[in-house]
Amino acid sequence: MIPDIDAYWLWFWTAMIFASIAWYAILLVWVGWRGGRDVVEMTRALLKNRPDDET
Amino acid sequence: MMLHPIDWTIIAVYLVGCVAAGVWMKRYVRGVEDFAVAGRAMNTNLGVASLAATELGIVTVMYTAQFGFQNGFVGAMPGVLTAAAMLLVGMTGFVITPLRDASVITIPELFEKRFGKLVRWLAGLVVVLGGVLNMGVFLRLGGEFLTHVTGLGNTEGIHIALPWGDGSATLDAGYLELTMTALLAIVLVYTVLGGMLSVLVTDYLQFLVMGLGIVVTSILVVTNTGWTELVDRLWEAFRATAGAAQGERNLVMTNPFNPFGEGGIGVGWVVWQAIHALAVVTTWQTTISRVLAAKNAATARSMYRRAAFYWVGRWGLPGLWGAAAFVYFWTRPDAAGLLPMGLDSQTAMPAFLNAILPVGVLGLLIAAMLAAEMSTDSGYLLTWATVIYNDLIMPCLGRHQPSARARLLIVRSMVVLIGLFLVFYGLWYKLGKTAVWDYLALTGDIYLASIFALLVGALYWRGANAVGAVAAIVLGAAGPILFVVVNHLLQEKRVPVSLVAAMEPIMNAKKGVILPEVIGLAAFILAFAGMFLGSWAWRVLLERFAPASEEEKR
């Protein structure tokens, strides 16, 4: 039998672990979509701002 | 279980796609600013993906799983504390706002503005030493995960006769060394060519693969073990083994739920981890390089707020795999409180995943872990190379500044040199298993304590001066080293009995060494004491022996 105080902590960790799985899944879709757009924007900005080629 | 052709196909597709994207970005690099901080053109979501990918490598999965294996769900505590620290910093802008507004490339560059060139150079040295030596164990631990999760041993490989000595000397390399050397070579190709731009784009792809692998694996671990079974068995193991010492093979669990309760990890340890977490999110150069690459301070703060909860999962999900691995081996009929031969608390988790994951998912997990390793290696290689270039080499050149092309060549050469160092020092040269963890903690503490005290002093205390900064660097580094020496002497039984008795309150009675939280907290206290006392003493000396004239005061 788990004592009360330890049981409260167990509820806390249960919430954290399942929320983490859900958060990772949401982040994967959200950042996956928006981050892809950021990559395109970044490359366009770099081409626009630096016409000279130093490399 | 050995890998199926489907698993190998998933891994091959990922590797080819990642390298192609990394090499493609070379076309956008036109100077050191593009190479080191992506032309400061990064947006929030790309920043979140890059930060998340860089700060989760196989080495992270290995030690967080080991925490879960030994401490149950409490193993996720550092993740909760890091998330809280990140949210706090994201909401207040503590350290990161003035740092981004300073438009520097590295943290030591900021120190020159406040404390002069010597402090910049010394801080650069501490950052590089702490960072590169810390990274030294990444490849070996990553390789251990891969060889256990794929079911490959480390016995086969190549044997090359060396041309010196009596002819009997050979260089022996197993799968682990060959695999990780090849992996590092791939990372070096795209990091050297595209710098931060390649790192950001490959980090983005790696974030997608890694995130998918972690989510799918975590769901399968929970469904395979059963949540109630997991909880009940962890508690049962804690009650059965409470008070026993943890070793490499024995199955011993601390209080798996309550860090402050009976048999828990303790208040001192949690306080140390809280300070450590705040120092990591404000000073660890690989994290800060994303702040410096952000468009502005508001973007950096937004990135921190959005990425905060990610840290709970970074510790909690591999910790869950570790806790489930503990239950898997604890409930085996032939366990008798011990892991099978050839496994220890680090390698139990990959062996457990190899046993439970189906074909396809195993390939996805390996691709995810390769992604994690590659994003971490590329981010770290670039970061430390940039610090060497910016804070150790450039200040020494004075007025003889090289051309833009030469500067780029210097940074790229540094990336290659660090890569070579890692292969020969961190992979082919074998550190003992216990030494690896002492070493990781030591190098981390040297860096964090010194640089955190310096940053807080530089940004928020007008009374801070160069003498205090040097004292903070020296004391912050000396503290952890001193404790490691004392711990070594304690283990060798070369400390007088009376002194050991006096140190009893700060010692782990079962292991006979000083508690890690005492070492960690002492490093921070010493660094801040150095900053405060050094600055104060220098000001007092100046006022006494070289008082400012009335004109200077005005």
Q: Tell me the DSSP string of chain A.
A: ---HHHHHHHHHHHHHHHHHHHHHHHHHHHHHHHHHHHHHHHHHHHHHH--S---
A7 or B401, which is more confident: A7
- Alpha-carbon distance of B99 to B106, in angstroms, equals 9
Average pLDDT of span B274-291: 87
pLDDT score for B32: 66
pTM of the full structure: 0.82
B89 or B18, which is more confident: B89
- B214 and A41: CB-CB below 8 Å? no
Q: Is B139:B187 a contact under the CB 8 Å cutoff? A: no
pLDDT band at B438 (very low <50, low <70, confident <90, very high): low
With 90 as the cut, is the pLDDT of residue B375 above it? no
Which two tokens mark B275? 């300070």
B204: closest chain A residue by CA: A35
- Alpha-carbon distance of B410 to B195, in angstroms, equals 12
Q: Is B269:B67 a contact under the CB 8 Å cutoff? A: no
With 70 as the cut, is the pLDDT of residue B87 above it? yes
Q: How many CB atoms lie within 10 A of CB B250?
A: 15
Reported as a single tens digit per residue, the pLDDT across B484-518 is: 778 778 877 888 888 888 888 888 777 777 887 88
Burial label, B143 (beta-carbon count in 10 A; 0-12, 13-18, 19+): buried
Range in B176-185, B334-343, B382-391, B436-445 the model is least confident about:
B436-445
- A10 and B52: CB-CB below 8 Å? no
Helices (H), B93-116: 96-101, 107-115
- A6 and B261: CB-CB below 8 Å? yes
How close A53 comes to chain B (CA, Å)? 6
Task: Provide, as residue numbers in chain A, all residues whose Cβ is less than 8 Å from the Cβ of B204.
Answer: 35-36, 39
With 50 as the cut, is the pLDDT of residue A53 above it? no
How close A14 comes to chain B (CA, Å)? 9
pLDDT score for A50: 58
Query: Which one of B30, B208, B405 has the shortest CB-CB distance to A50?
Result: B30
- B204 and A39: CB-CB below 8 Å? yes
- Alpha-carbon distance of B119 to B109, in angstroms, equals 9
Q: How many CB atoms lie within 10 A of CB B165?
A: 8
How high is the ipTM of this complex?
0.83
Q: Is B210:B56 a contact under the CB 8 Å cutoff? A: yes
Nearest residue to B59 (alpha-carbon basis) of B1, B136, B132, B142 = B142
pLDDT score for B423: 80
- Is the dihedral angle over the CA atoms B33, B39, B40, B42 positive or is it negative? negative
- A28 and B39: CB-CB below 8 Å? no
Rounded mean pLDDT of chain B?
A: 82
Which two tokens mark A12? 């806390």
Reported as a single tens digit per residue, the pLDDT across B34-79 is: 666 666 667 777 777 777 777 778 888 888 898 899 899 999 999 9
- CA distances to B15, B108, B236, B274 from B81, rounded to whole Å, are 34, 26, 27, 6
Task: Provide, as residue numbers in chain B, all residues whose Cβ is less than 8 Å from the Cβ of A35.
Answer: 45-46, 48-49, 204, 207
Which two tokens mark B36? 């080191």
How close B5 comes to chain A (CA, Å)? 27
pLDDT band at B433 (very low <50, low <70, confident <90, very high): very low
The top-scoring range by mean pLDDT among B150-154, B348-352, B503-507 is B348-352
With 50 as the cut, is the pLDDT of residue A55 above it? no
Which three-class secondary structure state does DSSP give residue B343? coil
With 60 as the cut, is the pLDDT of residue B103 above it? yes
pLDDT band at B83 (very low <50, low <70, confident <90, very high): very high
The top-scoring range by mean pLDDT among B82-91, B372-381, B391-400, B410-419 is B82-91
Instruction: Specify the DSSP element, H or E, that contains B32.
Output: helix B32-37
